[in-house]
């Protein structure tokens, strides 16, 4: 039997979308986009049809917000989990993709607001800003995130890198990230996201054909550190999948004209199908 859902479009304190089963739920999930900055309405509906309260917010690029991913207060996401708890969720998970996964992983360490984190195409380190901050400047590089008013240590980008694709073709920035990791190797330890300290559950989903950054290597590093610390972790991978993961019922977005995400829609859907049961278990509080 289909679950009846109720939707809410909110404007304060940020543009946001909340959807819930008409009968309510004790499980909630905050869904964070990547560098698109969009509000993830369809993915929220996917979770609501599984019996969960789901919300997504615009966390940059909106009214009164930084125009880019630059020194974003992680407290923004702590407050956003309050949308779910206010609707009755006792267990709250945070699902993020790419830059949203970076934020979600930090939340798992710095706050007790999330009982589980699901990180799609994650990074294992904090990166420099993507786009300008509130001052309109994108240089010199600054951290993507702050906590309690302080910027988190980060890895800058090596601006000597240049793309190799023909002019007008979608660009893979994988090489940029790989070169930056090598150039600023002395900053990796400070910028590492210490997921081994997080008490909640962790699900990592990554494709080996990701052309945006080395998500599979990052995910394996995170999983290894979790396992060494005796913390729960589930790693779901597929070698031919790219940066985008599609869960069952989701429709592949159009291919980007700007970036090469890697993989295929079919491989992304296969990765999502393999990950989906583990995602649901994490959100519901079963073993991951």
Write down the architecture of domain 5-284 according to CATH: 3-Layer(aba) Sandwich (3.40)
DSSP 255: P
Residue 113 pLDDT class (50, 70, 90 cuts): very high
pLDDT in tens, 125-183: 999 999 999 999 999 999 999 999 999 999 999 999 999 999 999 999 999 999 999 99
Query: What is the share, in percent, of the chain residues with pLDDT greater than 70?
Result: 99
The structural domains of the chain, with segments of one domain joined by +, span 5-284
Nearest to residue 85, comparing CAs of 55, 107, 41, 45?
A: 55
- b/e burial code for range 225-259 (CB count within 10 A of at least 16 → b): bbeeeebbbbbbbbeebbbbbbbeebeeeeeeeee
Q: At what angle do helices 99-110 and 75-86 cross, to 10 degrees?
A: 80
Nearest to residue 204, comparing CAs of 116, 115, 112, 81?
A: 116
Instruction: Sort residue 159 into left (φ over 0), alpha (ψ -120 to 50) or beta.
Output: alpha
pTM tops 0.85, yes or no: yes
DSSP-derived pairing of the beta strands 72-73 and 145-147: parallel
pLDDT in tens, 13-72: 999 999 999 999 999 999 999 999 899 999 999 999 999 999 999 999 999 999 999 999
- Is the pLDDT at 1 greater than 80? The verdict is no
Residue 287 pLDDT class (50, 70, 90 cuts): low
- Contact assessment for residue 253 and residue 247, using Cβ atoms and an 8 Å cutoff: no
Helices (H), the chain: 41-48, 75-86, 99-110, 174-183, 188-191, 215-228, 265-284
Q: Which residues, at least 6 apart from 136, have a Cβ–Cβ distance to it below 8 Å?
A: 67
Instruction: Sort residue 218 into left (φ over 0), alpha (ψ -120 to 50) or beta.
Output: alpha
d(CA 142, CA 1): 50
- Contact assessment for residue 95 and residue 118, using Cβ atoms and an 8 Å cutoff: yes
Report in angstroms the alpha-carbon separations of 144 from 70, 195, 270.
4, 18, 31
Residue 126, classified by CB atoms within 10 Å of its CB into exposed (0-12), middle (13-18) or buried (19+), is buried
User: Residues for the chain: how many in total?
Assistant: 288
């Amino acid at each position: 039997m289909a679950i009846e859902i109720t939707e809410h479009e909110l404007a304060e304190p940020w543009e946001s979308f909340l959807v819930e089963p008409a009968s309510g739920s004790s499980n909630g999930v905050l869904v964070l986009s990547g560098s698109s900055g969009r509000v993830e309405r369809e993915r929220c509906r996917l979770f609501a049809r599984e019996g969960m309260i789901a919300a997504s917010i615009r966390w940059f690029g909106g009214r009164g917000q930084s125009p880019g991913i630059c020194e974003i207060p992680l407290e923004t996401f702590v407050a956003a989990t309050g949308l779910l708890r206010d609707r009755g969720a006792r267990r709250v998970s945070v699902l993020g993709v790419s830059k949203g996964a970076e934020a979600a992983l930090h939340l798992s360490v710095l706050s007790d607001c999330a009982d589980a984190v699901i990180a799609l195409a994650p990074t294992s380190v904090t990166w420099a800003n993507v786009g300008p901050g509130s001052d309109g400047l994108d240089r010199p590089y600054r951290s993507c995130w702050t906590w309690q008013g302080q910027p988190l240590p980060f890895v800058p980008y090596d601006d000597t890198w240049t793309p190799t694709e023909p002019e007008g073709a979608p660009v893979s920035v994988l090489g940029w990230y790989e070169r930056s990791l090598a150039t600023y190797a002395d900053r990796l330890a400070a910028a590492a996201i210490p997921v081994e300290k997080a008490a909640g559950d962790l699900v990592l989903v990554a494709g080996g054909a990701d052309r945006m950054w080395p998500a599979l290597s990052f995910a394996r590093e995170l999983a290894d550190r979790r396992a060494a610390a005796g913390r729960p972790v589930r790693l779901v991978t597929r070698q031919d999948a790219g940066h985008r993961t599609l869960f069952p019922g989701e429709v592949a977005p159009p291919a980007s004209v700007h970036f090469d995400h890697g993989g295929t829609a079919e491989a992304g859907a296969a990765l999502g199908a393999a990950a989906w049961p583990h995602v649901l278990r994490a959100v519901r509080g079963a073993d991951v």
